[in-house]
A and B are shown apart, each in its own frame.
Chain A
Amino acid sequence: MAIFVLLSIPLFACGLTALMRKRQWMEAVHLLSGIGLFATAASLAGSVLRSGSVSSGNGFLYVDSLSALVAVLTAFVYMVCTPYAVGYLRRDESDGTLAPHGDAHAALRRLRMYYCLMPLFVFCMFLIVVANNLGVMWIAIESTTLASIFLVTFYGRPTSLEAAWKYAMIGGVGLSMALFGTVLTYYSAHQVLGGDSVSALNWSVLVLQAQHFDKPVMRLAFILILLGFGTKAGLAPMHTWKPDAYCQAPVPVAALMSTAVLNCALYGLARFYVLTTRCLGPAFASNLLILFGLLSIGVAAPFILVQRSSRRMLAYSSIDHGGIMVLGLGFGGVLGVLGMLMHMTFHTVTKPLLFFCVGNIQQHTGNDAMRRGASGLVHVLPISAPMFLLGALAVTGTPPFSMFQSEFMVLRAGFASQHLGLSIVFVACVVAIFCGFFHHVTQLVLGPPSGAPREAFSRWKTYPVIGLSTVVIAMGFWLPAPLYQLLDGAVRILAVQP
């Protein structure tokens, strides 16, 4: 029952907004949908904790603790993004960036498009998490891409069009590879299950028979799946669309994409990882995952070191954290998987904080340049700038904050699985990324006052920043017990005993 509510709220919100005339109404629906979604996701997680797994529509929709975790995280990000989006778009409207030469009607149309597409975008993400059938999961991922294309071209600038085109093309190719992988998985499962009943492609059914699948087909299938979902998650060599898309999309969309879409893509990858390790044994899959994980971290490091735009720096940071999660999964064992899931949780909490701060800074200074751009922002943005510094410390895995614990756990997994050389490379890249990231942020935040007027205090844009930073600090020292049980359940699903 909670699953249907979870899916229907966004659809309902999308439909309602399409009919709205006034901006206040759209914002109200947007906010309500955010809060409603988080409440439903939380109750769904509660019921999953109580009964292990929840399914409805005779197995078509299936939620276990892994999907409940990702659902809760997605709902959390959406809930946090909605108030910020209201403040952000109001500021855009007053700046006149929404509609060329102040045409109010066009601005309203564009706002309606935003408030319609966002719930649709979230609906597809929840569908990914909830779908038991791997084919339906692929359809849901494909539709997230389609829904978000027009969000990326929201501002209609030539560069945003260019970013959208790259996003569409690379996303399209990646996802067709994923489709091919799904087809091959179905083919390798076909001999064993036989018959083409509707439940033939259901994950819960497949996972029980995984040992008997056809080995070479499964190997090819996992390669294609890894490339497909890797493109969606933005792992290196397929990461090239990410910096452009995050740079051009509105900040709330970028925040949602960099955390929720990354989580869903890795969720899909994890589903197939379980099937492959059951069928082929852990060696094949973890070597590939380690390769792509390290590649992503290695590619992200130099770009962050010499980066000139803050939004692109955050994009590369997402690529780096995607790489760390995949590396954790690759190292395997309870430690590696727990490290990955904790990293996913903490990243989902920390990254939006950074995006909101960058958003506030960009709207104040007008551009997101770092090198010769503004400095001494702490005098002008008294809350966003310090929180940006705090977020920078958190996201680079500096110990007092939570990301350190998950990164350290991934490192321990690396040592446990005798990958000493790789762990050294991993630590080196993490330190290099910290140097680049923190260097740029301090140049932006600290420094003499540049005489610009102090930013007008806007409630919608500042309270999410404050709320998120308290959560980030609290997460450093204490983890709520139900969340940890959810993590534990998810680990038991993923950690395939070799």
Chain B
Amino acid sequence: MIEKALAVAFQIGLVLLLSPLVTGFNRVLKARAQTRRGPSLLQPYRDLYKLLRKGMVIPDTASWIFTATPFVLFVTTLLASLLIPMVSVAAPLSLFGGVLAVVYLLALGRFFLALAGLDTGSSFGGLGSSREMTISAIAEPALMLAVFTVAIGAGSTNLSIVAQSAQGQSWRFLAPSQMLAFAALFIVLIAETGRIPVDNLSTHLELTMIHEAMILEYSGPYLALIEWAAAIKQLVLMMLLVNVFFPFGLSADWSPGAVLFSLVLFSLKLLLLSIVVAIVEIGNAKMRLFRVPELLAIAFVLGALALVSTFLFQG
């Protein structure tokens, strides 16, 4: 029982530490691509530390939902991260929720974030919430088809079992259904974390911002919690992508040696994925809002093809 608690604590600590690093690494890559030095790798940690100590301004029209949302968002994303195998195949709480629970925990966080956006009473909040809910709604079918492909392949929605069964077969990730599902999930990752073709995190121009519009009124520790939760959410989706499709190197149990080795391997895989994400961001300009459904329709078609190919190519 204690061993389980240790595993949970370890995974929590790892997630908290790694997530700002990923966003930081992503900013550094983009800066280098635009031939400028860009902020240091540890800048996100410094921002969070500064924000946690700064004062806060709460809008007078806001209700208790405004103050509760950062905590709900942070906690749901953190719990979602515990359901996914990170360094060991046996994810700490995978018995209590499979991939559906992950998807819907993130949806719960998004639900409260959208409400908080509306709570501020300014049109920016409403704009952000409306766009966020629309895009996530359109992304759901593609996400669900990819999840279905993975679950059908492994015969279960429990992510630990999915990772185990994927480890068992060699060159599993080269199967067409897995590649297509990976592509579909990758597009959904871009849409969900608000990367360039769908949303631009670094600007506050009302024409383009979606995620930023909702958290416009947050400041101080609340803003820190929300930024951190967004980073964790990004890490969760990346972990889902990495450990479900390329599960090799995940340690079978929680022995310290194996965990250390799989941690190194995991961070390498994470590095590669964030490089790919950065390349996509650099290579694309932001799409018009009503072009995004077409992108997600492509993801949906990819998901459907993945499903068909499971029984078409016996893959």
Answer yes or no: A and B touching, Cβ < 8 Å. Answer: no
